[in-house]
Amino acid sequence: GNSVTQMEGPVTLSEEAFLTINCTYTATGYPSLFWYVQYPGEGLQLLLKATKADDKGSNKGFEATYRKETTSFHLEKGSVQVSDSAVYFCALSKESNDMRFGAGTRLTVKP
Amino acid sequence: EAQVTQNPRYLITVTGKKLTVTCSQNMNHEYMSWYRQDPGLGLRQIYYSMNVEVTDKGDVPEGYKVSRKEKRNFPLILESPSPNQTSLYFCASSLSPAVYNEQFFGPGTRLTVL
Protein backbone atom coordinates (compact mmCIF):
# COMPACT_ATOMS: atom_id res chain seq x y z
CA GLY A 1 0.00 0.00 0.00
CA ASN A 2 0.88 3.66 -0.05
CA SER A 3 3.23 4.82 2.70
CA VAL A 4 5.64 7.54 3.76
CA THR A 5 8.95 7.18 5.57
CA GLN A 6 10.63 10.19 7.09
CA MET A 7 13.83 10.57 9.02
CA GLU A 8 13.62 9.94 12.72
CA GLY A 9 14.16 12.78 15.08
CA PRO A 10 14.62 14.61 17.11
CA VAL A 11 16.69 17.09 15.16
CA THR A 12 18.44 19.87 17.06
CA LEU A 13 20.04 22.77 15.21
CA SER A 14 21.47 26.15 16.03
CA GLU A 15 19.78 29.24 14.68
CA GLU A 16 20.73 30.01 11.05
CA ALA A 17 21.79 26.42 10.35
CA PHE A 18 20.70 24.56 7.21
CA LEU A 19 17.85 22.12 7.61
CA THR A 20 17.09 18.94 5.70
CA ILE A 21 14.39 16.48 6.73
CA ASN A 22 14.30 13.44 4.48
CA CYS A 23 11.05 11.95 3.22
CA THR A 24 10.59 9.04 0.85
CA TYR A 25 7.36 7.50 -0.31
CA THR A 26 5.95 4.29 -1.71
CA ALA A 27 3.03 4.59 -4.09
CA THR A 28 2.02 3.65 -7.58
CA GLY A 29 1.48 6.38 -10.09
CA TYR A 30 1.68 10.04 -9.12
CA PRO A 31 0.51 10.90 -5.62
CA SER A 32 0.23 14.43 -4.30
CA LEU A 33 2.86 15.16 -1.64
CA PHE A 34 2.62 17.44 1.38
CA TRP A 35 4.56 18.78 4.32
CA TYR A 36 2.51 19.69 7.37
CA VAL A 37 3.86 21.44 10.47
CA GLN A 38 2.59 21.11 14.03
CA TYR A 39 3.56 23.84 16.48
CA PRO A 40 3.38 23.07 20.19
CA GLY A 41 -0.19 22.66 21.40
CA GLU A 42 -1.71 23.16 17.96
CA GLY A 43 -3.14 21.11 15.14
CA LEU A 44 -1.31 20.41 11.91
CA GLN A 45 -1.21 23.08 9.24
CA LEU A 46 -0.14 22.81 5.64
CA LEU A 47 3.38 24.06 5.02
CA LEU A 48 3.74 23.26 1.32
CA LYS A 49 2.67 20.77 -1.31
CA ALA A 50 3.48 19.47 -4.79
CA THR A 51 1.06 17.66 -7.03
CA LYS A 52 3.25 16.39 -9.88
CA ALA A 53 6.78 15.26 -10.57
CA ASP A 54 9.48 17.97 -10.55
CA ASP A 55 7.14 20.46 -8.88
CA LYS A 56 8.71 22.50 -6.11
CA GLY A 57 6.57 23.53 -3.18
CA SER A 58 7.73 26.51 -1.12
CA ASN A 59 6.51 28.57 1.81
CA LYS A 60 8.07 30.60 4.66
CA GLY A 61 11.58 29.84 3.35
CA PHE A 62 10.97 26.08 3.24
CA GLU A 63 11.21 24.15 0.00
CA ALA A 64 10.67 20.60 -1.20
CA THR A 65 10.93 19.13 -4.69
CA TYR A 66 8.87 16.19 -5.89
CA ARG A 67 11.43 13.69 -7.21
CA LYS A 68 9.78 10.82 -9.01
CA GLU A 69 13.06 9.06 -9.84
CA THR A 70 14.07 8.80 -6.18
CA THR A 71 10.50 8.79 -4.76
CA SER A 72 11.48 11.58 -2.41
CA PHE A 73 10.16 14.91 -1.13
CA HIS A 74 12.86 16.21 1.20
CA LEU A 75 12.18 19.37 3.18
CA GLU A 76 14.89 22.07 3.23
CA LYS A 77 15.42 25.49 4.68
CA GLY A 78 18.56 27.53 4.31
CA SER A 79 18.55 29.29 7.67
CA VAL A 80 16.32 28.09 10.48
CA GLN A 81 14.96 30.27 13.26
CA VAL A 82 13.91 29.47 16.81
CA SER A 83 10.31 29.96 15.69
CA ASP A 84 10.67 26.99 13.30
CA SER A 85 10.79 24.60 16.26
CA ALA A 86 7.92 22.21 15.65
CA VAL A 87 7.06 18.70 14.47
CA TYR A 88 7.11 18.22 10.70
CA PHE A 89 5.03 15.58 8.93
CA CYS A 90 5.48 14.36 5.38
CA ALA A 91 2.28 13.05 3.79
CA LEU A 92 0.99 11.68 0.51
CA SER A 93 -2.43 11.38 -1.05
CA LYS A 94 -3.00 9.00 -3.93
CA GLU A 95 -6.67 8.11 -3.79
CA SER A 96 -9.40 10.40 -2.58
CA ASN A 97 -9.64 10.09 1.15
CA ASP A 98 -6.38 8.22 1.57
CA MET A 99 -3.85 10.61 3.05
CA ARG A 100 -0.86 8.82 4.59
CA PHE A 101 1.34 10.55 7.13
CA GLY A 102 4.89 9.85 8.18
CA ALA A 103 5.75 9.43 11.85
CA GLY A 104 6.81 13.07 12.21
CA THR A 105 10.20 14.68 12.88
CA ARG A 106 10.62 16.97 15.86
CA LEU A 107 12.86 19.97 15.18
CA THR A 108 14.33 22.09 17.95
CA VAL A 109 16.23 25.25 17.02
CA LYS A 110 18.43 26.75 19.71
CA PRO A 111 19.42 30.43 19.79
CA GLU B 1 -12.26 33.32 11.08
CA ALA B 2 -12.16 30.04 9.15
CA GLN B 3 -11.46 27.26 11.59
CA VAL B 4 -12.05 23.76 12.88
CA THR B 5 -12.96 23.60 16.56
CA GLN B 6 -12.89 20.63 18.87
CA ASN B 7 -14.19 20.16 22.39
CA PRO B 8 -13.04 19.31 24.91
CA ARG B 9 -9.32 20.00 24.49
CA TYR B 10 -8.39 17.74 27.39
CA LEU B 11 -10.31 14.86 28.91
CA ILE B 12 -9.50 12.29 31.56
CA THR B 13 -12.04 9.52 31.94
CA VAL B 14 -12.40 5.95 33.17
CA THR B 15 -12.79 2.70 31.29
CA GLY B 16 -16.30 2.13 30.00
CA LYS B 17 -17.71 5.62 30.46
CA LYS B 18 -19.19 6.80 27.17
CA LEU B 19 -17.87 10.06 25.81
CA THR B 20 -18.24 12.32 22.79
CA VAL B 21 -15.67 14.65 21.28
CA THR B 22 -17.27 17.34 19.18
CA CYS B 23 -15.88 18.78 15.95
CA SER B 24 -17.23 21.71 13.99
CA GLN B 25 -16.02 23.60 10.91
CA ASN B 26 -17.27 26.91 9.52
CA MET B 27 -15.85 26.63 5.99
CA ASN B 28 -18.72 24.71 4.38
CA HIS B 29 -16.35 21.82 3.70
CA GLU B 30 -17.79 18.58 2.35
CA TYR B 31 -15.11 16.28 3.69
CA MET B 32 -14.33 15.68 7.38
CA SER B 33 -12.12 13.17 9.09
CA TRP B 34 -10.89 12.00 12.48
CA TYR B 35 -7.31 10.98 13.21
CA ARG B 36 -5.45 9.76 16.23
CA GLN B 37 -1.81 10.66 16.80
CA ASP B 38 0.45 8.30 18.70
CA PRO B 39 4.23 8.59 19.22
CA GLY B 40 6.20 7.01 16.41
CA LEU B 41 3.08 6.24 14.38
CA GLY B 42 2.17 9.62 12.93
CA LEU B 43 -1.51 10.21 12.25
CA ARG B 44 -3.88 7.34 11.56
CA GLN B 45 -7.35 7.84 10.23
CA ILE B 46 -10.27 6.61 12.32
CA TYR B 47 -13.34 7.57 10.28
CA TYR B 48 -14.15 9.97 7.49
CA SER B 49 -17.20 11.54 5.93
CA MET B 50 -17.62 12.57 2.30
CA ASN B 51 -20.77 14.56 3.05
CA VAL B 52 -23.88 14.66 5.22
CA GLU B 53 -25.07 11.16 6.16
CA VAL B 54 -22.08 9.58 4.37
CA THR B 55 -19.43 8.09 6.66
CA ASP B 56 -16.91 5.28 6.35
CA LYS B 57 -14.15 3.52 8.24
CA GLY B 58 -10.54 4.56 8.10
CA ASP B 59 -7.56 2.49 9.18
CA VAL B 60 -8.32 2.18 12.90
CA PRO B 61 -12.13 2.36 13.43
CA GLU B 62 -12.50 -0.24 16.20
CA GLY B 63 -14.06 1.18 19.35
CA TYR B 64 -15.25 4.42 17.69
CA LYS B 65 -18.45 5.71 16.12
CA VAL B 66 -19.22 8.87 14.19
CA SER B 67 -22.22 10.65 12.73
CA ARG B 68 -22.70 13.43 10.18
CA LYS B 69 -26.17 14.85 10.51
CA GLU B 70 -25.15 18.37 9.56
CA LYS B 71 -22.44 19.50 7.22
CA ARG B 72 -20.54 21.47 9.84
CA ASN B 73 -20.45 18.88 12.66
CA PHE B 74 -18.71 15.52 12.89
CA PRO B 75 -18.67 14.16 16.47
CA LEU B 76 -16.50 11.22 17.53
CA ILE B 77 -18.14 8.82 19.97
CA LEU B 78 -16.41 6.33 22.21
CA GLU B 79 -19.16 4.03 23.52
CA SER B 80 -16.94 2.16 25.98
CA PRO B 81 -13.48 3.72 26.14
CA SER B 82 -10.48 1.57 26.98
CA PRO B 83 -6.92 2.53 27.99
CA ASN B 84 -5.59 1.76 24.49
CA GLN B 85 -7.68 4.67 23.24
CA THR B 86 -5.55 7.09 25.23
CA SER B 87 -4.24 9.34 22.48
CA LEU B 88 -4.25 12.76 20.86
CA TYR B 89 -7.21 13.15 18.51
CA PHE B 90 -7.54 15.53 15.60
CA CYS B 91 -10.51 16.45 13.50
CA ALA B 92 -9.83 17.73 9.99
CA SER B 93 -11.84 19.06 7.07
CA SER B 94 -11.27 19.89 3.43
CA LEU B 95 -13.29 21.34 0.61
CA SER B 96 -13.53 17.93 -1.01
CA PRO B 97 -11.64 14.64 -0.75
CA ALA B 98 -9.62 15.38 -3.89
CA VAL B 99 -6.05 14.22 -3.55
CA TYR B 100 -4.55 17.70 -3.93
CA ASN B 101 -6.71 19.46 -1.36
CA GLU B 102 -5.34 20.85 1.86
CA GLN B 103 -6.79 19.51 5.07
CA PHE B 104 -7.53 21.95 7.90
CA PHE B 105 -6.99 20.58 11.37
CA GLY B 106 -8.55 21.34 14.71
CA PRO B 107 -6.36 22.04 17.76
CA GLY B 108 -6.58 18.47 19.07
CA THR B 109 -8.16 16.67 22.01
CA ARG B 110 -5.89 14.88 24.44
CA LEU B 111 -7.77 11.92 25.88
CA THR B 112 -6.62 9.80 28.80
CA VAL B 113 -8.56 6.65 29.68
CA LEU B 114 -7.74 5.23 33.10
Pairing relationship of beta strands B10-13 and B109-113 according to DSSP bridges: parallel
Interface check for B95 against chain A (CB to CB < 8 A): the answer is no
Q: Report in angstroms the alpha-carbon separations of B81 from A12, B15, B44, B58.
A: 37, 5, 18, 18
The per-residue pLDDT for A65 is: 98
Residue B42 has a pLDDT of 87
Q: Give the sign of the dihedral formed by CA B82, CA B87, CA B90, CA B96.
A: negative
Q: Say yes or no for a CB contact (<8 Å) between B107 and A51.
A: no
Judged by CB atoms within 8 Å, which residues 8-27 of B form the interface with A? none
Residue A14's pLDDT band (cuts 50, 70, 90)? very high
pLDDT of residue A44: 93
Measure CA B66 to chain center: 8
Element (H, E) at B112: strand B109-113
Q: Nearest 10 degrees: CA dihedral of A27, A24, A6, A34?
A: -70
Checking if the pLDDT of B40 tops 90, the result is no
